[in-house]
A and B are shown apart, each in its own frame.
Chain A
């Protein structure tokens, strides 16, 4: 601690340079935190996907539909406990940018399949007894200011009603919460029987199935059995673990994880050069002072420690400010105004950030520090 004053004084030597470097590091770590939250928004579904759930979709594409009759056939396959269907509605609420998932489902069996969706018994009963009833996740309800009892009009882009009408009206009978922080609370769920009866075409067809299996370690075998069951039929299936399905869905936008990681690596590499350059200059212009310190008894190791200490303090302050700023920005809400189902910086991501602060400090400071350590006093004092 007694050297902290010395380190701090050295950093204050060129205030503008230090501040600019500090700001650069801060921006790098702010981006790291913020982009991390966005990446998490896309990948959280994969992380929280049920290990004991498979998704069965049309072999050709998710947009191809499957017969509703598959449900009972899937449930008869060995190892399958339960199957529920879902269908992508793809409607627009007020304006196209208000994106969120709307799915017609069978209420009772859907809530059984997804116990992480928490809803009161009264609201569940209301949904079961109201054909036009719908429930919404807490996040999406808060986003649009919905409350139970509201009538929600959604314009169909795919599923028009009989007679060509595009507007579907649903009665909001419940709002569900997530059992975990990562549970998706941006879905809008309504009754499949209401939907199937009123839609203009596609009766008896569904989007995909969620299947609960008895033994997650046999998911590959069970998936193969399901696909075999429907082989050579007009609607062949592709079954996979729920996590893989969610990942595939997210990948339709692009490999978000790769894009984010590439941006972060580019930013960090640039920052490493900036911080390394600052440290190299800081040592080069102080050769004489470092030699003086050695002359009065500072050991090679201590001088190395002082230079590395500067690197750690500089990067530490910049990194801490950057991560704190990212935290504040993420706390203020997601940039899509609620379209991302999850938007937070996970604790382990922050820990990775702290680790990266250390790595950056070490990499940026080690060469100048070694240079300072190896200074020959007699030579350096003559410069």
Chain B
């Protein structure tokens, strides 16, 4: 099935080197990856293997030291900071492990945040954020502040914020890492539904085999290299 689909993400010969003082740390080396449109990809690997770094490169949150990252035909590693920010706003939805909601804003206002970067009117922004909250099943909690929501509910708000602009790509960094099993399952159900019913392309970094099992493909990252099998 995937063969017939267009590649959404193409990563070619990517190196990522971090500098710590005079020391160079090679996190990713000569990495290649293609992600077709509509795929739900899980990235697994031990801590420090470069999973989040890879996710950051795909989402334009960081730049490769070498190689190219092309998303939706756009070589994002070549974009200026300003253009890259604008590209992220239009094409990427991010879901974080610790939700990263603004505690001073209600659920609805948190969801509205990415819409501030669009030319939408206030009423249109409100309408769209209400739809996003409805999708994640939190319409009844829209006026609540994050501190009054459970972890699972906060992550749902995080997902609503990620999908409110209808992005091409949904990037999730350990979305269930801070949740109990039940809440984690609900979040995974939601991500699966977004992938299957709305065709969202999802890349999810996880340590959890149970979570990775929900994805349509799982790749393992170890010592900066990708493989289809976990290393012993």
Contact = CB atoms under 8 A, between A and B. Distances in A.
Interface of A: 2-3, 5-6, 9-10, 12-13, 288-289, 292-302, 376-378, 381
11 contacts: A2-B116, A6-B113, A9-B109, A12-B104, A289-B102, A292-B100, A296-B94, A297-B117, A300-B85, A302-B117, A377-B61
Given A2-B116, A295-B94, A377 B86 contact: no
Nearest to B164: A296
A259 B62 CA distance: 55
B116 A3 contact: yes
A6 B105 CA distance: 8
Given A13-B103, A292-B100, A300-B81, A378 B62 contact: yes
A9 B117 contact: no
Nearest to B89: A297
B142 to A, nearest CB: 15
A378 B61 CA distance: 6
Interface in B69-86: 81-82, 85-86
A295 B92 CA distance: 9
Given A2-B116, A378-B56, A10 B104 contact: yes
Instruction: Sort A-B residue pairs by CB-CB distance and give the 6 closest, nearest first.
Output: A297-B89, A299-B85, A292-B100, A9-B104, A378-B62, A297-B88
Interface string B94-128: 10100010111100010001101100001000000
Nearest to A291: B100
A13 B103 CA distance: 8
A109 to B, nearest CB: 71
Contacts of B66: none
Interface of B: 52-53, 56, 59, 61-62, 81-82, 85-86, 88-90, 92, 94, 96, 100, 102-105, 109, 113-114, 116-117, 122, 161
A307 to B, nearest CB: 14
Given A297-B117, A378-B53, A292 B96 contact: yes
A295 B60 CA distance: 8
A295 B88 contact: yes
Contacts of A381: 61, 96, 100
**Secondary structure dominating the interface of A:** helix
A376 B61 CA distance: 8
Nearest to B103: A13
A299 B82 contact: yes
Contacts of A298: 85, 89, 117
A312 to B, nearest CB: 18
A296 B111 CA distance: 11
Contact of A296 (B82, B109, B113): B113
Contact of B105 (A2, A9, A299, A302): A9
Contacts of B161: 296
A297 B96 contact: no
A289 B122 CA distance: 23
Contacts of B88: 295-297
B61 to A, nearest CB: 5
Contacts of B122: 2
Contacts of A9: 102, 104-105, 109
A297 B81 contact: no
A289 B117 contact: no
A32 to B, nearest CB: 31
Contacts of A5: 109
Nearest to B105: A9
A271 to B, nearest CB: 25
A137 to B, nearest CB: 56
B151 to A, nearest CB: 17
A382 B221 CA distance: 19
Contacts of A377: 56, 61-62
A57 B81 CA distance: 72
Of A9, A288, A376, chain B has the most CB atoms within 10 Å of the CB of A9
Contacts of B94: 292, 295-296
A293 B161 CA distance: 11
A295 B59 contact: yes
Given A5-B109, A6-B105, 6 more contacts: A2-B116, A289-B102, A297-B88, A300-B81, A378-B56, A381-B96
Of B85, B109, B116, most buried by chain A (CB within 10 Å of CB) is B85
